[in-house]
Structure 1
C-alpha cells in the first residue's frame, strides 16, 4: 500500500541530520547548570542555539527562552502578562489555537481579565476596524493575541498592521507563530511585537521543544518555579538534546527557505489545480485556496460528500495510506468539530467533511495525484 503523509501542519518528519545531531548530543550528559567541564560543554551548546535563533529573527539572545513547545510558550506569555504586567483585558479571536483560547477562557472564568473577541470576515480574517474599536473601549492594560497563520485554514494575517495599531493604543502584542516560524522570515527589530511562540516539530525538528520570544525588559516573570534556568524565566533542567535538534532544524529551515518554499508552494498550487479540475464542487475554506493570502504549507477543503458518508471519509483515507486531518491534530480525535470552521462556514457546509492537507519537502506531485484519485473515488462511490 502506498503511504502519503499530508499532515505536516500537525507535525513534520525530522530531518536525518537533525537526528544525528541529537544522537551526538545524548553523549553530552553534563547538567547545563553545573560549573564543571561536563556542565559547561552542555551550557555552551544551549547558548549557541539561543544565539543562532536570535540571529535569524534579529532578536537578542536574552529574548529567546526555550520551552517544551508552542503550548507552553503561549501559556507562559499570556498567564504571566496578566500576573506581572497588569493586563486586565485580552483581545483575541474565536479561531485561535486552543493553547490560547482555553488559557484566556480560564483567566476570564477566574475573573482575572475581561475577554474581547475581534470580529472576523467571512474568510476568517480579523476585522481591523473592529479591533481598533476594542482598543479604544477603555484605558485598561490590554494584550492583543492573534496568530500569524491559522493552523486549520492557513490564513495569513497582516501582523505588521495589527501590531502597529495595537502599539499605537499602548497595548501589548502576542502571536502564536507556531505555523509561521521556520516557514517565513522574521525581523523582531522591525516588527515591534512583544511576544511570540514557536515549536520545533513544525519545521522538521523534534517534538517537545520550542521557544518563546519575550521582548527585553518586558517585565514578564516565570510560570514555572524552581531553578534559575533560562534567565530565570523557565525553571527546570533544559532538554539539551532537543534544544540542539531545534537549532539544527532552525538552521536548515532558514538556510534552505527560498528553495523549499518554492517547491512546497508548487505542490500546493498543483493540489488546488487538481481539486478544481477533478472535484469542481469542492470549496476551499478560509483563504487556503489563495496562495497570496494563506500559507504555502496547507489547504483546507470542504468536499461534496453526503453527511452519512462524511464520518467515514478520514478512516477511508487512512485505510488507503493517506494521512491528513479534519482539523488541528490537537482535536482530530474529538467529535465536537472544528471551532475554526464553525465560525466561518454555513450550517450546510458544516455537514460536509472538511479536510486539511498540509505539505512538506518530503511530498511529491505523485502523492497529490494519488490523494486526489482516492478522494474522487470516495465521492463517486
Structure 2
C-alpha cells in the first residue's frame, strides 16, 4: 500500500515550526511495509486543502492528515475532509465527555468552541487522545483510507504507536507482518561501516539492512517481512549474528538504547560510582548521565572547571602542568580525571578537556579533545581524539566518546 502524509498548518509553511510529524510517521510506515512517496504541507486554506486531497487520492491508498483538529476557526482539516467526502460530522459522545472532564478537573471554564474538537466524520473509527483533547479518526471510502491525527507531536506520536499501527496492521493482514531491530554503533563512521558490510548490503532482499548516521553515531536497521513475529526475528537474528562477527566491537546497544543508558547500567551492575570533571563540554556529560533514571545510585557529582583558574582552585590541577602542557593536553586530562575521583571518592573519574571552537586555543586546532578515565582497577587512560563539526556538534560528540570509552572499559 502507498501512503501520503498531508500536514495542515500555515505555521509549517512560514517556518515557525518544523514538520517532525512527517518524519516520524514515515519511519513508522516503513516498519509496517507501507511506502510513502509524497509529503504535502498545506496552509489553513480550505480550497488549497481540497486540491491537495484530490491530488493525493489519485496516487495513494492511505491519506494521513496531521493538524487542524483544534477548536479555532483556522482548524479546518476534518471540515474539509467532510466536504470532500460528502460525509457529515457528528459529535462523538465519549470524546466530548473526555473534553468536559478535562476542563472540570482543572477548574477552567470550557468555551463553546471546544466542543468542536469532539466532532468526527460519521461512522469513522475513533482513536482516543490520551495526551490532549481532539481524537483521531479513520474512515475508508471508495478504496481510499483517510486517517486524521492531531498536530502536536506529544499527542500524535503516542496515538500513532498505540492505535494507528494496530489499525494499519489489520488493514495489511498477517501475511505482511513487518518486524525490525536496530543495532547502534559508535566509534566507526557510516562509510567505514558500510564498507565492512558491503557484501551484506549488496545481497539484501528480505531482511533489508538500512544504515543511518546521526550525531556521531551510526545505526543499522534490520527489517524482515514474514507471516509471524517468530519467523521474522529468526531472519533478523541471522543477519545480526553476521554483522556482530564483522563489527561487533562497535555495537553498544540495540533499538532505543543510548550510550549514557548502557554506561550507567554497566556501572550499576558492577556497583561502581562515577564523578566527572568537564571543561569544553560545560556539564553536557553530566546532563546525559543524570538523564538516565536511577543514575543517582552511581553518579556522585561533577565539576565544570571551564577556566584555568577553576581547574587549579577547585579541581586542584597543578599550575606547573598548565604552564608546561596547557589545559588541553594529555597531562591535564589525566590529572583532572584523577583529582575528580579523589574529590568525590568515586571508583571512576572522567575528564574532558578540549577545544570546541570557533577559534584555536594554546596554538592547538579546533576539535582536539582529551578524555581521561581514572579507574581504581587500572592505570589512568587518556584518549586523544580529533573531532569535526560545529561547536555544539564537537561538544556532543566529545561527551559521547567519553561514555563510549567508559562503556568499553567496563
Q: Same fold (TM over 0.5)?
A: no
Larger Rg: 2
Report the TM-score, using the length of structure 1 for normalisation. Answer: 0.31
Report the TM-score, using the length of structure 2 for normalisation. Answer: 0.29
